[in-house]
């Protein structure tokens, strides 16, 4: 190939248009290009407020945060009120079917046709039968294990390894007379609502669980 056939792109600055309409269109194009470049370079972020301490409500914040981290997002979870139970060293959380009519009660063992059946448990039974909550928790744990789903502790460990910021509500700690040594050492900060709202305000996605 001869040098004469090589086409070298012209990298010299292009002159600005002289008429007002063309100049405005040029500025609009430049602005759109700059905004597109900034959006492409931005790291997405997720902020979750976790308020529940039951087993069924522990899965959403940990699953969502670990998934966001796997996608390259910055993720944080603010644990407040009963949600602080999910940060304790000794995870002792249960699932309660009481007042949770949408909760499927299925046996984790037995023939396939039996395991697919929803067991209608009246609230009167769920609330008054001794040991029913523990039984429901055991059934849920066995179901999770049989389906190959990670436990709450495993999901929490994944979040820690993925550098999800775990934040504890200091007001709740004081309210319930908790001690900081009851909680895992990986808590990033002990903060109040004001501090977390400032962080959540700048997040691309903010969720309340």
> What digits encode the pLDDT tens for the residues 148-163?
889 999 999 999 999 9
Q: Which residue has the higher pLDDT, 193 or 121?
A: 193
Q: Which residue has the higher pLDDT, 137 or 188?
A: 188
CA separation for the pair 183, 163 (Å, rounded) = 17
pLDDT value at 67 more than 60: yes
pLDDT value at 113 more than 50: no
CB-hemisphere CA count at 13 Å for 119? 13
Tell whether domain 45-101+151-208 is in CATH 3.40.1260.10.
Answer: yes
Q: What is the pLDDT of residue 56?
A: 85
- Whole-number average pLDDT of the chain: 80
pLDDT over 90, % of the chain: 47
pTM of the model: 0.70
Long-range contact pairs involving 30-38 (C-beta distance under 8 Å, separation at least 24): none
Q: Quick check: 78 and 196 in contact, CB under 8 A?
A: yes
Tens of pLDDT, residues 125-151? 555 555 556 766 777 777 778 778 899
Domain ranges of the chain: 45-101+151-208
CA separation for the pair 190, 167 (Å, rounded) = 6
Q: What is the pLDDT of residue 63?
A: 96
């Amino acid at each position: 190939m001869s040098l004469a056939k090589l086409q070298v792109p012209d990298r010299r600055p292009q002159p600005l248009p002289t008429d007002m309409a063309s100049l405005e269109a040029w500025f609009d194009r430049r602005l759109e290009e700059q905004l597109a470049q900034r959006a492409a370079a931005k790291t997405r972020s997720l902020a979750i407020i976790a308020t529940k301490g039951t087993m069924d409500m522990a899965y959403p914040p940990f699953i969502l945060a670990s998934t966001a981290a796997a996608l390259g997002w910055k993720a944080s979870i603010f644990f407040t009120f009963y949600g602080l139970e999910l940060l304790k060293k000794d995870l002792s959380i249960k699932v309660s079917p009481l007042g949770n009519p949408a909760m499927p009660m299925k046996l984790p063992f037995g023939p396939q046709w039996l395991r697919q059946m929803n067991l209608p448990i009246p609230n009167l039974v769920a609330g008054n039968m001794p040991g029913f909550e523990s039984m429901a928790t055991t059934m849920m744990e066995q179901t999770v294990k049989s389906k190959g789903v990670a436990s709450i502790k495993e999901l929490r460990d994944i979040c820690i390894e993925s550098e999800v910021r775990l934040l504890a509500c200091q007001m709740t700690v004081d309210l319930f007379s908790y001690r900081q040594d009851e909680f895992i050492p990986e808590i990033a900060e002990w903060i109040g609502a004001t501090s977390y709202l400032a962080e959540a305000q700048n997040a691309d996605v903010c969720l309340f669980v």
